[in-house]
Amino acid sequence: MHNQKFPISHPKSLNRRSFLMSAGGLALSQMLVGCGNSNQTQLNIQLLRGSIPSQIVRKFRQSLQQQVQLNFSPVEQIPDLFKQLQGWQNKSTTTDEPFWNRFIPFRKSQPKVVSDLVTLGDYWLKAAIEQKLIQPLEETEVNQLKQWSTLNERWQQLVKRDNQGNLDTQGNVWAAPYRWGSTMIVYHRQKLQSLGWTPEDWSDLWRDGLQQRISLLDQSREVIGLVLKKLGKSYNTENLDTIADLENELRTLNQQVKLYSSNNYLEPLIIGDTWLAVGWSSDIIPILSRYPQLAAVVPKSGTAMWADLWVRPTGRKKDTFASQWIDFCWQPDIAKQISVLTRSNSPIISNIAQSDMQEPLRNLLQSNHAVFDKSEFLLALPPSAMKQYETLFAKIKQE
């Protein structure tokens, strides 16, 4: 599941991933290895567990013109993948490093074989480039990717960066997006029905009847961001002091909140202890069919987006089969299958028939272009701005 857009760990008594996996999440349960000997060509990929169905790997193997040993190793969380990239480059984290490093769980050992490709979240891209953990795709390689030119311009802009990891329309291509999701509102149908309305936008979180009935993510960027969006501002606002009504809006919203959690916000909603929650689509969409009392909506004024990307570790030579894998994930029919099977969205525009999706998912997996255009990827802000977010968030929660 994709809750690791932020390099922060929130250990809880109940393992949220175990809860979600028991709810029917689809994942590669173990490493998939092609038959072959030690001299056979290999393709090593470290990927986020649940982000690529095993059926897709099998189809890729069948599509290859020669025998290749495929090693697809699923990893539980994006922070673990980022830490692995650091381990391959013999990096170590200290309290003197940027904020995004200081919350990554320490792992004692790293795999000896550097993978050809690794899953990384878009929010981590700047840090990975700054720390020289990854390298850009070669220009000739990008030009040979058949679907690159069909990608929406926003996807191309997201992965074009300068050598400091900042967005740069003239920069190198540092990654290949293969699925995406968003922050959304999920609510208890019967509880909201008693109030006579259903949520459509962020402003509904301030409505009467929801006092102490809401759970929000324990993330300053997400909570302050949705308030900024309500006020018509950007999620990536750097100076919060310029937003006059922000603190008062946050304070009023806080009165509606029963708990802040980035891990256990769905359980109270399922049992009716809370009536509405804000969370990540990768957590929410997989459980809607199992819990029909829940419904979800993407706020119509726009929301925060996340993307899973393929990146190439520094020092790893370009691999023909790695390029073929990226291209394979971008084939419209394959992109559609990844979207449907992992209950996520695809950066490749592909019409998904209504019959291919379960009813609760139909309005969530079909890209609403109007909402998409109003939504934003969360960019890594300067440390001074992040401190401002975290200080304000902590202040409001304590009131």
Q: How many domains does the chain have?
A: 2
Q: Would residue 374 count as lying in a domain?
A: no
Q: Would residue 195 count as lying in a domain?
A: yes
Q: Would residue 372 count as lying in a domain?
A: no
Q: Are residues 55 and 173 in the same domain?
A: yes
Nearest to 146 by CA among 323, 381, 1: 323
Name the phi and psi angles at 4, rounded to 5.
Answer: -100, 50
Which residues on neighbouring strands pair with residue 185, listed in sequence order?
278, 297
Quote the pLDDT of residue 23.
38
Nearest to 7 by CA among 315, 395, 383, 392: 383
Q: Are residues 262 and 122 in the same domain?
A: no
Nearest to 219 by CA among 227, 211, 209, 231: 227
SS3 label, residue 146: coil
Q: Are residues 46 and 103 in the same domain?
A: yes
pLDDT, mean of each 10-residue run, the chain (399 residues): 40 33 41 53 93 95 90 93 91 44 40 86 96 96 93 94 96 96 95 94 97 97 98 97 96 97 95 96 91 94 96 92 96 91 83 56 62 92 96 95
Q: Would residue 370 count as lying in a domain?
A: no
What is the residue type of 96? D
CA distance 344 to 180: 6
The dihedral of CA 338, 344, 349, 353: what is its sign? positive
Q: Are residues 166 and 28 in the same domain?
A: yes
Can you state the angle between helices 220-230 and 246-254, rounded to 10 degrees? 110
- Angle, CA of 147, 55 and 349, to the nearest 5°: 30
CA distance 360 to 343: 11
- Angle, CA of 206, 363 and 375, to the nearest 5°: 60
Q: Are residues 144 and 229 in the same domain?
A: no
Q: Would residue 5 count as lying in a domain?
A: no
Nearest to 175 by CA among 190, 202, 156: 156
Q: Are residues 139 and 21 in the same domain?
A: yes
pLDDT digits (tens, 9 = 90+) for 55-79: 999 999 999 988 889 999 999 999 9
Domain of 259 in residue numbering reads as: 183-303+380-398
Q: Are residues 173 and 309 in the same domain?
A: yes
- Spatial CB neighbours of 272, under 8 Å, sequence gap ≥ 6: 188, 190, 191, 293
Tokens of 209: 């009847």
Q: Are residues 74 and 145 in the same domain?
A: yes
Q: Are residues 389 and 347 in the same domain?
A: no
Q: Are residues 203 and 127 in the same domain?
A: no
Q: Are residues 297 and 340 in the same domain?
A: no
Number of H helices, E strands in the chain: 16, 14
Name the phi and psi angles at 247, rounded to 5.
Answer: -65, -40
Q: Would residue 31 count as lying in a domain?
A: yes
Query: How many beta carbons lie within 10 A of that of residue 343, not counting itself?
Result: 25
The dihedral of CA 8, 14, 17, 19: what is its sign? negative
Q: Are residues 45 and 145 in the same domain?
A: yes
Tokens of 359: 């009813």
**Residue 172 belongs to a domain with what CATH number?**
3.40.190.10
Q: Would residue 106 count as lying in a domain?
A: yes
Quote the pLDDT of residue 64.
92
